[in-house]
Structure 1
Amino acid sequence: MTKTDEIPEEVEDSSAPLIEHLAELRTRLMHSAVAFIVGMVICFTVWNPIFNFLTDPLCQTMAERGQSDCGLILIKLQEGFFVAVSISLFGGLVLSFPYISYQLWRFVAPGLYKNEKNAFLPFLIASPVMFFLGASFAFYVVMPLAFDFFLGFQQAGDVGGTDVQASIDFQGSVQEYLRLTIKFVVAFGICFQLPVLLTLMGKAGLVSAKGLGEVRKYAVVAILVLAALVTPPDVITQVILFVVVYGLYEVSIFLVGRVEKKREAELREQGLWFEDDEDEAADDAAMAEFDDDDGEDLPEKGN
């Protein structure tokens, strides 16, 4: 058998693990897609109670302002159907997210060492928890304040006497309200992922507490831009998002510092930790002494 006859067999052997990984990935994606479809169908059958729950912040705010009717209107004939579909998609993703995360873990876990599994699993659990906290904070705290701010621009009409004052009443679109609500929930949910992301990067050695502290002023500017982009154009919501995200940034610096101290303690126990500052100081002293010796050996310029 010649060397050229052996090449196809080598290529086939090397491609076998890749094909197995692709087959495993296809299986996990199919399971995730089925879970998402099932969750979407469940939410579509009960989209009315879900929509009533999502409109609760608006109705409560309007009731506090003395407006008993918080009904929304359909601007387009097909708008009600697309609202039901949007609620089904969003609700299906929320319901199926734990199972999708589990499928992701099942795909990634076989390629990790035991210590890597122990490091990665807490972050996989903390991510949905932090998203839920961010979404809850937006739904129960930020949205009522924002709605109260927006509704403050209404005015009651008065046509008595000679002064004519046109009334401004809120008649919101169902689809626009749902889009605004989902934007609030998703924006704050993603922003609450900041400690999880930075702590994971710190554990991987990509960022440090000292480095995050040094770029704090740039982080403030980035957070201000983020608050202006992901929130409606009202000062109250933007200030709340800025304060919350900046607080999470400071928490992230603290958590990254804890991770670095823990890593240092483990390396010291193994005898693998070296003080970089002491080494740099010793190198600088050695270089200075070497420069002094060279200066003494050089002849004077006049000789």
Structure 2
Amino acid sequence: MSGDGQSLISHLLELRQRLLYAVVAVLAVFVALLPFANPLYAWLAEPLKATLPPGSQLVAIEVASTFFVPMKLAFFAALFLAAPFMLYQIWAFVAPALYEKEKRLAKPLLLAATVLFYAGCAFTYFLLLPVMFAYLNSTAPEGVAMMTDIGKYLDFVLVLLLAGGASFEVPIAVLIAVLLDWVKVEQLAEWRGYVVVAIFILAAIITPPDGLSQVMLAVPMWLLYEAGILVARAIAAGRAKAEAGGPA
């Protein structure tokens, strides 16, 4: 067998091993969370329960919802908690093929992306969801008691948490675009007006049709975009200084 063939097989074996590590980590966390699945769901439902009027509650429409919905939440919570370990496995597989300069850039970006995603999820749960549910409950017609299905609620909140986490990745997207020379920092500053409009449109799509939740999501995204421009400008200035001080 040729050297290229052996190298390909060794890479595939390493990839399989990394994937196995990631799967085992998720399963281990999932098994550890199973005894706490019901309290975990009660905690997740707190933003809605805190805004429900008297007489309203969450309900289980399907026969087995009380069993499968908390289990589903435990699985997604396991993915959430094991994500840094899974990202490390991806990094350990990809890193040997990168140059040292690329590694120095990728490490802080990967760490910042992880922290920002968790920050976005925390912002969504602690700040956005209470405001959103308070508005939704206030729109119920008189005489209509709001009784949300536990499965529908879980799906709704998971999508919002994912959207909230992803929306906080704006500065990472800005930095990657600049580092890969897709755009210039000056262009990002010039496009600010269009970007802000796009951010508010995206926030309006993600959130219910009330202005407060839209603004609550759009403003952090806007500020993170500005932060991305500032960091990208500092990196570009550092690059220019290094090139100017380099050998002729």
- Normalised to the residue count of structure 1, the TM-score between the two structures is 0.75
Does residue 29 of structure 1 match 2:19? yes
1:259 and 2:235 matched = yes
Matched, 1:238 2:214: yes
Residue identity in the other structure for 2:42? N
4+ long deviations beyond 4 Å: none
Which of 78, 82, 102 is 1:92 aligned to?
Answer: 78
**Larger Rg, first or second structure (1 or 2):** 1
1:180 counterpart residue number: 156
Which residue identity lines up with residue 150 of structure 1 in the other structure?
Answer: L
Give the length in aligned residue pairs.
Answer: 248
1:112, CA displacement in angstroms? Answer: 1.9
Of residues 35, 39, 43 in structure 2, which corresponds to 1:49?
A: 39
- 5+ residue gaps, structure 1, are 1-8, 157-166, 273-303
CA RMSD, aligned part only?
Answer: 2.0
Alignment partner, residue 139 of structure 2: 153
Query: Is the partner of 1:46 in helix, strand or coil?
Result: helix
Partner of 2:88: 102
Superposition deviation, residue 61 in structure 1: 2.8
Taking the aligned partners of 2:69 and 2:76, their CA distance within structure 1 comes to: 11
Note if 1:124 corresponds to 2:100.
no
Q: Deviations over 1:69-110 (max 9, x none)?
A: 663101121222331232022111112111111111211121
Gaps of 5+ in 2: none
Q: TM-score, with normalisation over the residues of structure 2? A: 0.91
Q: CA deviation at 1:207?
A: 2.5
Q: Is the 2:57–2:146 Cα contact (8 Å) retained in structure 1?
A: no
C-alpha displacement of 1:244: 2.0
Greater relative contact order structure (CA < 8 Å, 6+ sep)? 2
How far apart are the structure 1 equivalents of 2:192 and 2:105?
27
Q: Distance in 2 between matches of 1:16 and 1:250?
A: 47
Identity level (%): 31
- Name the counterpart of 2:49: 59
